[in-house]
Copies of this chain bind each other. A is one copy, B any other.
Amino acid sequence: MPRPASARPNLPRQEIRLSVDTIVFSLEGPELRVLLVRRPVEPFAGREAIPGGFAEEGESLDAAAKRVLETETGLRDVYLEQLYTFGDPRRDPRGRVVTVAYIALVRPPAPTPRDGRWATLAALPALAFDHARILEYALQRLRYKLEYTPVGFRLLPEEFTLKGVQDAYETILGRSLDKRNFRRKLLSLHVLRPLARSARVGAHRPARLYRFDEQKWEGLKEKGNVFVF
Contacts and interface: CB of A to CB of B under 8 A. Distances in A.
24 contacts: A2-B13, A3-B95, A5-B15, A7-B95, A8-B95, A10-B41, A11-B17, A11-B94, A11-B97, A12-B54, A14-B18, A14-B55, A14-B57, A16-B16, A16-B17, A16-B55, A57-B89, A58-B89, A61-B85, A61-B87, A61-B98, A85-B85, A144-B227, A144-B229
A14 B54 contact: yes
Contact of A95 (B11, B60, B96, B97): B11
A100 interface: yes
A151 to B, nearest CB: 15
A79 interface: no
Nearest to A43: B10
Copy total for this chain: 2
Interface of A is mostly: loop
A120 interface: no
A85 B10 CA distance: 21
A49 B110 CA distance: 45
Interface string A49-69: 000001101111110100000
A42 interface: yes
A166 interface: no
Contacts of A170: none
Contacts of A16: 16-18, 55, 57
A174 to B, nearest CB: 12
Contacts of A227: 144
Given A2-B13, A10-B42, A42-B10, A60 B89 contact: yes
A98 B61 CA distance: 9
